[in-house]
Amino acid sequence: MNTLSKIATSLIILLLAITASGAQIKNAKTESVKIYGNCNMCKTTIEKAGNLKRVALVDWNEKTKMATLTFNTTKTNKTEILKRIALAGYDSDLFLAPDDVYKKLPECCQYVRVNKSALVQNEIAEIPALKNNLTAPEKEQVVNQLKAVFDNYFAVKDALVKSDQKLTAAAAQKLLLAINNVKMESLTAQEHTVWMKLWNSLKLNTEKIAALTDLQKQRNIFMDLSKNMYSLIKVSKQGTPVYYQHCPMYNNGKGANWLSKENAIKNPFYGSQMMTCGKTVETIK
């Protein structure tokens, strides 16, 4: 068999393999997106991160940097796939990889971060393509991408202070909506890095609180939610001070923390049982 025939045979085999894999995915949709990388090793990592058996299939082209995403629309979407790929170290036109993950890539895989450079130059988080077309209120909304997340977190905290599990679940539903509505491309570089690390945990904890009717279980999950919110608010500029507060009694005496817009202690872990138990341990400005 000559070289041309071998190449043709290989292409046919590859095409059949891709077709067979795609056929296993029900409710399939195919989209193309640019993902940055350099080499065949990048291809392996990108595709492994994006693929989910019978749910999502990624085929990345090393030369064009274009990826073909085929996925079950009832189980995932382009956003979820690209987030997984970003967490593996690879930027796309929608999401940036965390800096620490990118730096751990092999030297041959450390591609030129075109979108990262653009974001660093626009730390105030105004999207260059939209900047000149936004009204003043719209610009403010772009800059304060995380405001709704923090505001709804405080609403969950206030509901727990009242020891109202139904109100807590309803507030968590609004928090979940705010989390899902965050436009990651509009975050500052620091916010983006932390958000990529915490997004999944924030979402899962909020979903659990929203689904629960047991107040004690809601409070236990709120403890973990607050840890992640603290990490996020530390890199996000706030217009007013936020107070990081500590209850020494909760969690079998191990203690637990929460965030508040008020310096006065209103304990979300005990409510009226021990309303003022705790102290402010840090003021975040």
For residue 125, being part of any structural domain is answered with no
CATH of residue 59's domain is: 3.30.70.100
Domain that residue 156 falls in: 142-284
Tell me: pLDDT of 243 over 60: yes
What is the rounded average pLDDT for all residues in the chain?
85
- pLDDT value at residue 137: 40
Domain boundary among 90, 120, 150: 120
**Pair (276, 165) in one structural domain:** yes
Percent of the chain surpassing pLDDT 70: 81
For residue 126, being part of any structural domain is answered with no
Domain boundary among 60, 87, 120: 120
Q: Any idea which of 18-27, 93-102, 119-128, 134-143 has the lowest mean pLDDT?
A: 119-128
**Pair (59, 182) in one structural domain:** no
* Burial tier of 170 (Cβ tally within 10 Å: 0-12, 13-18, 19+): middle
- pLDDT value at residue 188: 79
Single pTM value for the model? 0.61
Per-residue pLDDT tens for 191-215?
A: 888 888 899 899 999 999 999 999 9
**Pair (80, 147) in one structural domain:** no
**Pair (29, 163) in one structural domain:** no
Tell me: pLDDT of 14 over 70: no
**Pair (81, 177) in one structural domain:** no
Tell me: pLDDT of 52 over 50: yes
Q: Give me the mean pLDDT over the 81-100 stretch.
A: 89
Q: How many domains does the chain have?
A: 2
- pLDDT value at residue 7: 56
Beta bridge partners of 283: 243
**Pair (169, 77) in one structural domain:** no
Domain boundary among 69, 86, 120: 120
**Pair (151, 229) in one structural domain:** yes
For residue 104, being part of any structural domain is answered with yes
**Pair (197, 113) in one structural domain:** no
**Pair (154, 254) in one structural domain:** yes
Per-residue pLDDT tens for 210-228?
A: 999 999 999 999 999 999 9
Tell me: pLDDT of 129 over 50: no
For residue 205, being part of any structural domain is answered with yes
**Pair (203, 73) in one structural domain:** no
- Gap between the terminal Cα atoms of the chain: 72
For residue 249, being part of any structural domain is answered with yes
Per-residue pLDDT tens for 63-83?
A: 999 999 999 999 889 988 998
For residue 132, being part of any structural domain is answered with no
Per-residue pLDDT tens for 245-280?
A: 999 999 999 999 999 999 999 999 999 999 999 999
**Pair (205, 260) in one structural domain:** yes
